[in-house]
Structure 1
Amino acid sequence: MNDLWGPIQASDWRSAPSVAGRPATEADVLAGAAVFYVEGDTAAVQMQLPCCAIHTLGDGSEESVVVIQAELGPQGTILGVRPLAGGNGVCLATEVRLLPNGFGS
């Protein structure tokens, strides 16, 4: 079986599955194209996905992530991210610094 949340090579970030232009579904999460889904009314945030970012963690450290999902929630824009080291996470857009030119920028 393929590991949906395994490591991502920095040079391969563009191939990470993502959901853009619409809210994610349960099927998207099961396929590894989204980290979360919300039943009911949600709105997708219009942004180019996948995209590279630096996520600032609660302890002040930073990790490189690929943003694969962006939706508008009550607290603001919520992102589904995949750290390059593997795994997944959910964070607010205010917790990341987007890297529009990829990880070399």
Structure 2
Amino acid sequence: MGKMRKIHLIEWFKKPTMLRIIFLIIAQAFIALLFDVFGLGAGSIGSYTFLKYASIFSNASAFIILLYPPLLSSDGGIGVLASHLGTSLHIGSIKPSLFKNTKN
């Protein structure tokens, strides 16, 4: 009985109707929202820990100031690499596989 119900559910998702498309969009939005909530939780825990042990980190303030600009500049490089990868996948110069994904 359970296997038949599973097959029926898979067939339900294969037929795109407006209700099913809306359901899939809501499910994907909910998953994205969960990632945001987990990120807020991780940031809250990190800031609480940092403020709790701020006296220990006060000696490392110069080191933190030295690390801040490289962390900001790495964002641009990662963005360039990600956009290059996305464009290459879109135009077909690389295939979405782990090995042997270039033309030559």
- Higher helix proportion (structure 1 or 2): 2
Highest Rg: 1 or 2? 2
TM-score (norm 1): 0.18
Q: Which has the higher contact order (CA 8 A, sep 6+)?
A: 1
